[in-house]
Structure 1
Amino acid sequence: MSDEVRPPIAAAVIVRDGKVLLVKRRVKEGSLSWQFPAGEVEAGETGSQAAVREAKEETGLTVAEVKVLGERVHPNTGRTMIYVACDVVEGEASVVDDEELVEVAWSDGKQITEYVPYPFYGPVQEHLDATLSS
């Protein structure tokens, strides 16, 4: 096991018209296959900048940070996660990074457990409860 500190992962929690954007990873991370657009924070970047960049690189969407929802060590992956609420500025979501992703989906509050059958981190769930249509 390496002592090297791995950079945190920034996740873009993108809600538009009462639905949240989820991406399906080509390779599962633990039990995770559907998740938010996300990736490692690069040197010199904030978590918010990384979330915005990753959304663009993975889905083609231009998004803007609304607020950081919270940070935690993910119980399944052991990685530090930074969750950033984002609004769509322009574009339509699609699979841009086809090496990492196989599908994108917009989910409302009722459908979300079909994609993600486990509970979200508390502050993320509160944000989704407040912004998703049921």
Structure 2
Amino acid sequence: MAEQTDEPGIAAAVIVQDGRVLMVQRRVREGELSWQFPAGEVEAGETPEAAAVRETAEEVGLTVKATRLLGERVHPKTGRRMSYAACEVAGGTATVVDTEELAELAWVVRERIAEFVPYGLFEPVQAYLDAELGPASS
């Protein structure tokens, strides 16, 4: 497991719409991370939920509302403190706005999540997606 650093925490937005979850592909990989949720550093005085909302607007141009914090952990691949916020779309259309950070985005159906995140999702995030998208078919 990676060591935790003193760097600012990262907040990720878990956005489900029309039976799909939004994933973004970063131009610079963080270890094995390539596809992930819209995310970025939590700024001083900012809650993880507010950071997830702000980062989503900055990266993909969507206005979202955080509905609840799904969980927090030290990411096993990066060692960064991570917070995951469930968010719902309030307006806009997802597009790559931050072309320096992101290569592309995809709305991913439940059955294809493992293709984008082969090492598995954080359990509270997986549980939320199972509830929102239905469990994986076997």
Q: TM-score range by the shorter chain?
A: over 0.9
Q: For residues 38-117 of structure 1, what are the structure 2 equivalents within 5 Å?
A: 38-117=39-118
**Which is further off, 56-65 or 124-133?**
124-133
Q: Which amino acid aligns with 1:22?
A: M
TM normalised by structure 2 equals 0.92
Superposed CA deviations along residues 30-89 of structure 1, whole A, max 9, x for unmatched, are 001000000000011000000000000000000000100000000000000000000000
How far has the Cα of 1:93 moved from its partner? 0.5
Answering whether residue 2 of structure 2 is matched by residue 28 of structure 1, we say no
Runs of 4+ aligned structure 1 residues displaced above 2 Å come to none
**Which is further off, 109-118 or 8-17?**
109-118
TM normalised by structure 1 equals 0.95
Q: For residues 10-21 of structure 1, what are the structure 2 equivalents within 5 Å?
A: 10-21=11-22
Structure 2: runs of 5 or more not aligned? none
User: How many residue pairs were aligned?
Assistant: 131
Q: Secondary structure at the match of 1:49?
A: helix
Q: Secondary structure at the match of 2:86?
A: strand
Q: In structure 2, what is the Cα distance between the partners aligned to 1:34 and 1:60?
A: 18
Q: In structure 1, what is the Cα distance between the partners aligned to 2:79 and 2:22?
A: 23
Q: In structure 2, what is the Cα distance between the partners aligned to 1:129 and 1:103?
A: 24
Answering whether residue 121 of structure 2 is matched by residue 120 of structure 1, we say yes
Q: In structure 1, what is the Cα distance between the partners aligned to 2:75 and 2:113?
A: 19
How far has the Cα of 1:114 moved from its partner? 1.3
Q: In structure 1, what is the Cα distance between the partners aligned to 2:79 and 2:67?
A: 26
**1:5 match:** 6
Q: In structure 2, what is the Cα distance between the partners aligned to 1:102 and 1:48?
A: 24
Q: In structure 1, what is the Cα distance between the partners aligned to 2:112 and 2:71?
A: 24
- CA RMSD, Structure 1 to Structure 2 (Å): 1.1
